[in-house]
Each structure stands twice: as C-alpha cells, then as structure tokens.
C-alpha cells in the first residue's frame, strides 16, 4: 500500500508543475482578454472569480491525469500506473471543464451563457487538452531518443568487439609460386602496394614499419584479404588498412591518405574516393 502511495505522490510531483503552468495560463488569458463578461465584480472579486477558472482546469487535470489512472491501477492491482488513452482523456477533460465553466459562469458569475459564449468556452477548454497531448508527445519522443542512443551505444560496442576480433585474425599472403608466403595479423598489415610483378606489404612489427615483397598481383592479393572488412582499395595500385588511416587530405586536387606514424602518404583516386569517405 505504501509503495502504491509513493508512486501516486511521485506522479503528482512530476505533473504538478505542468498542471500549475496550464492553469495559470488559463487564468492569465481570461483575466487579460476577458472572453466572458466580468463587469459584475470589482477588481478584487474579479481576480478571485477568474482564479476559479484556473482552479477548475487544475482540478480536472488532476482527476483525469492522476487520480483516475491511480484508482484504476489500484482496483486492478497492478504495479504500474495505468494511463488512459490520450484521445479519451482529452475528450473527458474537454467535456468536464466545458460544462463546469458554463455552470461556473452562469451561477457564480451570474453571466448569460449564449451559444457564442459556449463556443468560446469550448475553445478555451481545448487548450489544456492540447497542451497535455503535446507534453505526452514530447515525453514519448524524448524516451525514444534515449532508447535510440542506448541502442546506438550497444551497437557501437558490438562493432568495436567485432573489429577487435577481426584485427586478431591471421592473414596468409601466398605467392604465386608458394615460395614466399607471409603470415601476419590483420592488425599488423598497414597497406599493400603493387610493385610490378610483386606486391609490397608494409606491416608493423612492434613500433617499427617493415616491408616485404611477395610475388603476386594486387588483384589476387585483394581476393585473399576480401573476407576482412578492415581493408579498402584507395587506388588502382594500393589497398590500405582502415585501422591505420590518420586522415584524408586534399592537396591541389589530389587526394592523399596519411598513416599514423608513417611518413609516406598514399594516393587516393577519384574512383575510390567516395567509398573511402563512407568507410571513414
């Protein structure tokens, strides 16, 4: 019982500022724009009378948005507050507040309630329902954004784990005569460059960069490393490991890649530029 009461108090505290803001807005609107005849009161009594409209709105906001859902939740014995569908709660608020405004205006304000006055009452009473609906939409969007951010973080962690696992796999570069094979981890290969009838493999061993010539074509080598997503072709003579790219720069129409810790810059042809930008 105490747990349910605490939830009720927590919900009231959460919505109190919203309800007070809407009620105060109705009070100010009626006070300054005077959509209803208020000439029957002096200034002080007029303030009290107009405050009654704000109090009516606050009362029905409390009933429809807090008390009624809490009573439903209490009767069906669930652990969460059951919310009334927005369209239904909006209609209930509009109907109750409109009728209450009409009776309050007629029997407390002693003002005639014509069709024109009733139309203005309905329009004014629509404002709280619309404000609450917008508040709910904003809250739902905020929750969706938070869920998407959380989902993005989870996916990023999965991608990072996949990349780490991928970097620890071994590639065996096979020469066309099977005499100059070279086995390296994906994380060790920096880039591969065509060198006539050979491919020059630049790899990192500790803190040092080393080169190794393997007799093969760049096309065949590209087929060997195709299962590993870390590698991307940037030029007709060069394949680079995305893990080592520091930045992509443009120099007088020429596009170049800089490698972390390596002095040589690698050319990028226009044919592969867009794909490289997407990968980075």
- Tell me, yes or no, whether 122 and 29 share the same domain: yes
Percent of the chain with pLDDT over 90: 22
Mean pLDDT of the region 81-102 = 82
Are 184 and 266 members of one domain?
yes
Is 220 part of any domain?
yes
Boundary residue ending a domain (106, 138, 160): 160
How many structural domains compose the chain? 2
Residue 165 placed within a domain: no
Residues 129 and 190 in one domain: no
pLDDT tens for 11-32 read: 677 788 889 999 999 999 998 8
CA 76, 82, 88, 93 torsion: positive or negative? positive
Distances (CA, A) of 9 to 66, 73, 244: 10, 14, 56
Residue 276, classed as helix, strand or coil, is helix
pLDDT exceeds 80 at position 267: yes
User: In terms of domains, do 38 and 147 share one?
Assistant: yes
Same domain, 149 and 183: no
Please check whether residue 265 lies inside any domain of the structure: yes
- 18 burial type by CB count under 10 A (0-12 exposed, 13-18 middle, 19+ buried): middle
| Mean pLDDT value across residues 214-241 | 86
Task: Tell me whether residue 269 is in a domain.
Answer: yes
Dist. CA 30–CA 188, nearest whole Å: 74
Indicate whether 85 and 53 sit together in one domain: yes
Are both 76 and 208 inside the same structural domain?
Answer: no
Q: What pTM does this model have? A: 0.57
Note whether residue 113 is domain-resident.
yes
Is 50 within 8 Å of 27 (Cβ atoms)?
yes
Beta strand 254-259 pairing with 245-251: antiparallel
Look at residue 6 in the predicted model and tell me its pLDDT: 66
Assess if residue 77 is contained within a domain. yes
Instruction: Calculate ∠ Cα 116-117-121, nearest 5°.
Output: 120
Tell whether the model's pLDDT for residue 9 goes beyond 80: no
Inside any domain, residue 9 = yes
Name the more confident of 92 and 68.
92
Q: Give the pLDDT score at 23.
A: 93
If asked whether residues 148 and 201 sit together in one domain, one would say: no
The predicted pLDDT at position 249 comes to 85
131-180 pLDDT, tens per residue? 988 988 898 899 999 999 988 888 877 766 666 666 778 888 877 776 67
Domain end: 91, 125, 160, which one? 160
Pair 30, 56 in one domain: yes
Residue 129: pLDDT above 60?
A: yes
Residues 26 and 138 occupy one common structural domain: yes
Residues spanned by the domain of 226: 170-279
C-beta neighbour count of 195 within 10 angstroms: 15
CB 3 within 8 A of CB 77: no
Q: Are residues 190 and 151 in the same domain?
A: no
Alpha-carbon distance of 267 to 248, in angstroms, equals: 10
Q: What is the mean pLDDT of residues 58-70?
A: 84
Q: Look-up: residue for tokens 């096309």?
A: 219
Cα-Cα end-to-end distance for the chain: 56
Q: Any idea what the CATH number is for the domain that residue 200 is in?
A: 2.40.50.1020
202, 193 contact by CB (below 8 A): yes
- Residue 139 located in a structural domain: yes
The residue among 160, 188, 219 that closes a domain is 160
- In this structure, are 156 and 220 located in the same domain? no
């Amino acid at each position: 019982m105490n747990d349910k009461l605490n939830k009720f108090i927590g919900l009231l505290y959460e919505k109190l500022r919203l309800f007070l803001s809407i009620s105060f807005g109705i009070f100010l609107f009626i006070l300054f724009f005077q959509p209803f005849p208020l000439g029957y009161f002096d200034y002080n009594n007029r303030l009290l009378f107009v405050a009654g409209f704000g109090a009516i709105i606050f009362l029905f906001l409390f009933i429809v948005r807090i008390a009624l859902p809490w009573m439903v939740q209490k009767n069906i014995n669930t652990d969460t507050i059951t919310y009334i569908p927005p369209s239904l709660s909006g209609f209930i608020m509009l109907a109750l507040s409109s009728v209450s405004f009409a009776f309050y205006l007629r029997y407390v304000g002693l003002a005639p309630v014509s069709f024109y006055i009733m139309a203005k009452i309905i329009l004014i009473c629509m404002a709280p329902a619309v404000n609450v609906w917008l508040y709910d939409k904003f809250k739902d969007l905020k929750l969706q954004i938070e869920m998407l951010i959380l989902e993005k973080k989870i996916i990023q962690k999965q991608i990072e784990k996949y990349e780490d696992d991928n970097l620890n796999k071994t590639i065996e570069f096979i020469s066309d005569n099977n005499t100059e094979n070279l086995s390296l981890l994906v994380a060790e290969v920096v880039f591969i460059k065509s060198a006539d009838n050979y491919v020059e493999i630049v790899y990192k061993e500790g803190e040092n960069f080393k080169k190794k010539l393997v007799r093969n074509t760049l096309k065949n080598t590209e087929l060997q490393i195709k299962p590993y997503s870390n590698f991307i072709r940037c030029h007709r003579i060069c394949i680079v490991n995305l893990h080592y790219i520091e930045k992509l720069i443009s120099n007088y129409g020429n596009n170049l890649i800089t490698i972390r810790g390596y002095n040589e810059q690698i050319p990028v042809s226009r044919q592969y530029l867009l794909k490289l930008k997407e990968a980075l």
